[in-house]
A and B are shown apart, each in its own frame.
Chain A
Amino acid sequence: MPAKNNLNMKYVCIVFLAGLISACDQPEPAQPVSSQDTTDKQIELAPGSDRADSTNVYFGDTHLHTSYSPDAFLMGNQSADPDTAYRYARGYPVVHPYHKARIQINTPLDFLVVSDHAEFMGVIPNILNDNPVVANTKTGKRYKKLFAEGKSIEVFGELIGQINKVMPINPELANETVSRSVWGEIMSAADHHNEPGKFTAFMGWEWSSTPGGANLHRVIIMREGKEKGEQFIPYSSLDSDKPEDLWAWLDNTSGKVGANFLAIPHNSNISQGLMFALQDSEGKLITKEYAETRMKYEPIVEMTQIKGDSETHPKLSPTDEFADYETYDHLISVEGAEARNLFGGGFLGELSEKDRELVMKNMQHVAKAGDYARSALKRGLAIEDRIGTNPYKFGMIGSTDSHTAMASAEENNFHGKMAIDSTPGTKSKDVIPGTPGWDMGAAGLVAIYAEQNTRASLFDGMKRKEVYATTGTRIALRFFGGWEYSPGDVSASDMVSIGYQKGVPMGADLSQAPAGKAPSFMISAIKDPVDANLDRIQVVKGWLDKEGKPLEKVFDVALADGRTVGADGKVALVGNTVDLKTGHYTNTIGDAQLATVWVDPEFDASVRAFYYVRVLQIPTPRHTLYDTIALGLDPKESGRPSTIQERAYSSPIWYTPNM
């Protein structure tokens, strides 16, 4: 009997109604002013802030799991907790939970969000540590036995089954006492490491809704500290797997405790078209109210991370020669096979041939327009045309989603998605069926423009979408749009001030086109000081044609090494210096900096459009190349490219015609 028939309707959300009622009359929570913000009160403004630019770029990770997440714990991370996570991010050496080597990040982060799964938060470690509240239950005892027999993967299968909603939720595992105390520990670690002006630690968690294997996950971040967080328990997908219910809960809770929240969707690439769908969770066409609520809580999207890049897919953007980057097509699902058959027999190799085929088929994900950021941004324009509000007007960030407590996005210093896939040998194995460590990418980072490195300042930067994504490199990128930029502005010593004076930064809007004028964009990028040179800057434009059909085009706007765009619209590749035997590369190709003022040559003032920037690095080794060198294998054995062009994606600037 297919597992889906096990779905027990009585577990379907009861929270929905409660959330909805309070959502109707809840006043907008007051924006706390900084004087009330106890967590930031000791901030001493850096004396350097009298530089002409009032915003600096800060790099961090808003999505990281520790041993407190059950899947992390079951996949080899039984020791690296939130404190370890902060220590690694801040540049201290720590011990890897699986291979036990002493490791250290190359370049420390400026901020971090520990975002453990709210589902079964802390329950598994508490079972193993004999906390009577959970260890003495029937399930607790059974899990202990499975652990003792080395069958932790079977436990993992059961948890995923419940999150997929193909197995009923086991009430013995959802324990409020345990969740409250673990949530308290997570918050204490954040407060301990939060040092305004030096390092920011946010309170956060992950809502891991995965109905039928479609990934609708969101990371929730709070602007305030523990004193607010203590007043609630993180909302989980066991409460409800519908995003509308999550927003209603955020609305209700922010009003009640005076906190500010952001929800950040991620892994839209494996959402079966649902992350950026045309319909809501009930299958009805998106309304203005849906769009406004979504934009209130979800101004940014995590579109590049370890489990693949969600900018676009080669099938969706067939003419974009750089579209096939860290493409990832595996669902997180146990549908099609009983979870216990799938995981219980050990690994996939031990399943019967028939079961194996069924599972692989069910895990294969086919790219849809609702899965990728670029198609969603296009879709947003069309929906706005219909209802007057764009539900997909989001800024773009990257993060790791690492489950090792190590925010490692560095190709030459990558410590795995799960702790067990952290060594060259284990990464090559299919430990979690269909998703070997070699299919994972060492990515990504969030870059935020903010006045200072504090919770309030960084949170507000995210809220106004003045953010961009990178695949792990620290490319510094400025992107301004306006009507008056002149070619010399980008070389001026006060380029940033001119940027803000004459136009708007990334994440903002343009309208009111002066007659006969096309928008000009001032773009400047500089390489990571300890990474590779830059290949090119591109502008990706999306717009609606006269019939309201969304279109896209990629423009090469600044090219390294003096290259120019040919008559056929093509540009010569930058080259590749990577030595496949040693993994070394040189910065003899590409440029350290690229900059331009670009004017849209095809501008039509009467149609909606968006513009975002993509900056490519020269080719450098993918983490798998270092592995195959270590294992003495042909690089092709990894089944992945040996070299990749790491990149940065800016948040878009939108143009809206006068209506």
Chain B
Amino acid sequence: MLNKWLREPLVHFLLIGGALFLLYGLQNEGFVEQSNRIVISEAELDRLITLWGKKRQRPPTQFELEGLIEQQIREEVLYREARAMGLDQNDSIVRRRLAQKVEFIFADLVSQAEPTDTDLADYLATHADLFEVPGRISFVQVYLSTDKRGARVEEDASRLLADLLKASPDADIMMAGDRFMFGQQYKQQTEHDVSRLFGKDFANKLFNLPVGHWQGPVLSGYGLHLVRIDNKTDARQPELDAVRDKVHNEWLARQRRVADEAFYQSLRQRYEIIIENVKTKNAIASVEK
């Protein structure tokens, strides 16, 4: 039980998130406390130089570096003055940006929770349609051209079907029927493969036919086809190992969505929310139910 609790992402967030808030808070306190001193640290300098280098493919000259530093100082001075004047209050862009930053910090934390095999197996079992291995079919077809045979195409088809049923299984069917550009033999095709060549309706009909003997005719956009299905495998669930990466990604994505929402809800609970417009209030209330 404790084990499960320890793996619960929400718990991770609250712990790590709490620590981070504390850390950020302390840092900011430090700034405010020493509002008349601006320190450009070694690390900050390195960051400025790297950024510059990335853009221009060379390090800055001494003159350029001085400019960079001065620019940085200028920004810091103005930033502190702006805060002192309370300009960060009630600015929709600042607000949105800060809210985004909290979300980003959060999103980074979620990825640290790793699923166990049981988690993945559960996910695979409950989201079967996402990971299904499609069924495959191997078949032979003999084509009868409506263009060539006109009104007698159906009669020809039933005569040819009777012949094929009488013939031995390894008889050469090469000469039977009419020329068909895609050929007679099709091996290990998915329903998607078959519909690419013959159209959706034909593929659907084919996958519902029994295996083993000549049958038909089955209609396609080209004309009539007599078919013999030699082999058919049903769609199945894959082993976890075969789709582990994909399940892993989907699991993480879902955990992140769930955790994001849980985190937000946990924060929201700490607030009393008053909506003064009655219409809106009712709408919100009904959502929360």
Contact = CB atoms under 8 A, between A and B. Distances in A.
B199 to A, nearest CB: 4
A493 B179 CA distance: 8
A529 B222 contact: yes
A554 interface: no
A51 B222 contact: no
B240 to A, nearest CB: 16
B189 to A, nearest CB: 5
Given A136-B93, A595-B181, A529 B187 contact: no
B96 A130 contact: yes
Interface string B89-109: 000110011000000000000
A110 B182 CA distance: 18
A476 interface: yes
B181 A48 contact: no
Nearest to A478: B181
B221 interface: yes
A592 B199 contact: no
Interface stretch (A207-215, A410-418, A509-517, A520-528): A520-528
Contacts of B200: 107, 530
A17 to B, nearest CB: 15
A51 B183 contact: yes
Contacts of A476: 181-182
B173 to A, nearest CB: 10
B88 to A, nearest CB: 13
Contacts of A528: 221
A530 B187 CA distance: 23
A491 B145 CA distance: 14
Contact of B221 (A48, A198, A525, A530): A530
B223 interface: yes
Interface residues of B, number: 32
Nearest to A199: B192
Contact of A51 (B187, B196, B220): B187
Contact of A593 (B93, B97, B179, B189): B179
A545 B77 CA distance: 78
Interface string B139-166: 0000001110000000000000000000
A526 B183 CA distance: 12
Contacts of A132: 93, 97
A560 B186 CA distance: 28
A135 B202 CA distance: 54
B243 to A, nearest CB: 10
Contacts of A48: 186-189, 193
Contacts of A592: 145-147, 221-223
Given A48-B193, A527-B222, A529-B197, A491 B179 contact: yes
A46 interface: yes
A52 B181 CA distance: 13
Interface string A100-131: 00000001001000000000000000000010
B79 interface: no
Interface string B239-274: 000000000000000000000000000000000000
A301 B59 CA distance: 42
B174 interface: yes
Contacts of B182: 476, 526
B136 interface: yes
Contacts of B187: 47-48, 50-51
Given A48-B193, A493-B174, A595 B179 contact: yes
A478 B192 CA distance: 22
A495 B183 CA distance: 9
| Highest count of chain B CB atoms <10 Å: which of A132, A525, A592 | A592
Nearest to B198: A529
Contact of B222 (A130, A491, A526, A561): A526
Given A47-B187, A48-B187, A529-B220, A593 B145 contact: yes
B180 interface: yes
Nearest to B145: A592
Contacts of B174: 493
A309 interface: no
A47 B199 contact: no
A591 interface: yes
Contacts of A604: none
Interface string A310-346: 0000000000000000000000000000000000000
B185 interface: yes
Given A130-B96, A530-B200, A591 B147 contact: yes
Interface string B183-213: 1111111001100111110100000000000
A129 to B, nearest CB: 9
A531 interface: yes
B184 A47 contact: no
Contacts of A527: 221-222
A531 B188 contact: no
B184 A493 contact: yes
A218 to B, nearest CB: 26
Contacts of B198: 529
A530 B93 contact: no
A245 B272 CA distance: 60
A46 B193 contact: yes
Contacts of A595: 179, 181
A531 B220 CA distance: 11
Contacts of A198: 192
A198 to B, nearest CB: 8
A132 B222 CA distance: 58
A528 B202 CA distance: 13
A80 B182 CA distance: 37
Contacts of A495: 181
Given A130-B92, A592-B223, A524 B183 contact: no
B194 to A, nearest CB: 10
A597 B160 CA distance: 29
B229 to A, nearest CB: 14
Nearest to A495: B181
Contact of A529 (B97, B179, B199): B199
A500 to B, nearest CB: 15
A524 B181 contact: yes
Contacts of A530: 199-200, 221
Contact of B183 (A47, A493, A531): A493
A179 B198 CA distance: 43
A495 B200 CA distance: 26
A31 B181 CA distance: 34
Contacts of A560: 147
B188 A47 contact: yes
Contacts of B202: 529
| Highest count of chain A CB atoms <10 Å: which of B184, B198, B222 | B222
A138 B71 CA distance: 22
Interface string A548-576: 00000000000011000000000000000
A602 to B, nearest CB: 28
Nearest to B179: A491
A198 B193 CA distance: 9
A345 B189 CA distance: 58
B275 to A, nearest CB: 24
B195 to A, nearest CB: 8
A177 B37 CA distance: 31
Contacts of B222: 526-527, 529, 592-593
Given A51-B186, A527-B222, 20 more contacts: A47-B136, A47-B187, A47-B188, A50-B187, A110-B196, A130-B96, A132-B97, A476-B181, A495-B181, A526-B180, A527-B221, A529-B198, A529-B202, A529-B220, A529-B222, A530-B199, A530-B221, A591-B147, A592-B222, A595-B181
For the complex of A and B, 5 pairs with smallest distance between CB atoms: A47-B188, A529-B199, A529-B221, A526-B181, A592-B222
Interface of A: 46-48, 50-52, 107, 110, 130, 132, 135-136, 198, 476, 478, 491, 493, 495, 524-531, 533, 560-561, 591-593, 595
16 contacts: A47-B187, A51-B186, A130-B92, A136-B93, A478-B181, A491-B179, A524-B181, A526-B181, A528-B221, A529-B197, A530-B200, A592-B145, A592-B147, A592-B221, A592-B223, A593-B222
